[in-house]
Amino acid sequence: MNMTNTKTLISVKTDKTLKVSAQELAAEIGISLGTLINSFLRQFVRDKEIRFSTEYRPTRYLKASIRKGEKEYKSGKLPVAHSVEELKRQLRREV
């Protein structure tokens, strides 16, 4: 296949707010949205896979649940299992 290094236009419909947010974030790191998209496409072609990554931010509900669990654990309210079989027995009793 003979491919020359020419440019082409890709037209993609996306949510306007998403586009603006992506443009602003790309600008913050010093690149254009076009450069960002081309980088993604090059990586996709090179690796033949898609990688998604983001900083995880737990919800307020999850944070509250974690604090509650830590409090219960520290107070000794939670049973401790020393084997898988013991854990299974404890779980069966709670159901």
Q: What is the DSSP string of 49-94?
A: S----------HHHHHHHHHHHHHHHHT-S---SSHHHHHHHHHHH
| Full domain range(s) for residue 35 | 16-47
User: What is the model's pLDDT at position 55?
Assistant: 79
Count structural domains, the chain. 2
Q: How far apart are CA 40 and CA 16, in angstroms?
A: 20
What would the pLDDT profile of 7-39 be if each residue is shown by its tens digit? 899 999 999 999 999 999 999 999 999 999 999
User: What is the model's pLDDT at position 79?
Assistant: 78
| Residue 5 domain flag | no
Q: What burial letters (b/e) apply to 67-90, b meaning 16+ CB within 10 Å?
A: eeeeeeeeeeeeeeeeeeeeeeee
| Residue 32 domain flag | yes
Model pTM greater than 0.85? Answer: no
Contacts of 47 (CB under 8 A, 6+ apart): none
| Residue 7 domain flag | no
Contact (Cβ atoms closer than 8 angstroms) between residue 30 and residue 20: no
